Amino acid sequence: MRIVVAAALNLAVALWPAAAAERDGIKPFAYVTVVGAPGDGDQALAAALSRQLAARGLEPAAATEANIYEVQGTVRVAPAAKGKQTVAIVWVVLGPDGKQLGITRQTKDVRKGSLDKSWGKAADAAAGAAAEDIAKLFPR
């Protein structure tokens, strides 16, 4: 009988939803990915947004962890007038169950080719501008 109770308890703990952990004061975990950015933008944006979300109470996570939220960024660059490019970033937030919690979008015109190598402070600025809206999509 003890083995059955122990097995049931282990199963319940393994299936415990992220929401229950949040109620107990454990911070939610977020895994951030970015695709489509020129230069080092995919990595720079993902790292910058992870830092911004951590500052707002959302711990960084690995893709292999269970019960995590996912933030997927997609970057598109298009020509604009007078030596500029339009950079558009769409951020999609998914819950641990894979359901979409929301979307936020950013658009900015930059000097043509300025993001072709290193994003540097541009990644920090984009992540900082998006983080507040993204953080609001996570249940508290």
Q: What are phi and psi of 9, to 5 degrees?
A: -65, -45
CA–CA gap between residue 111 and residue 137 (Å, rounded)? 31
Reported pTM: 0.80
Domain 27-136 fold: Rossmann fold (3.40.50)
Using one digit for the tens of pLDDT, what is the confidence trace for 80-121? Answer: 999 999 999 999 999 999 999 999 999 999 999 999 999 999
What per-residue confidence (pLDDT) applies to 110? 97
Alpha helix locations (H) across the chain?
Answer: 2-14, 18-23, 41-55, 121-136
What per-residue confidence (pLDDT) applies to 26? 62
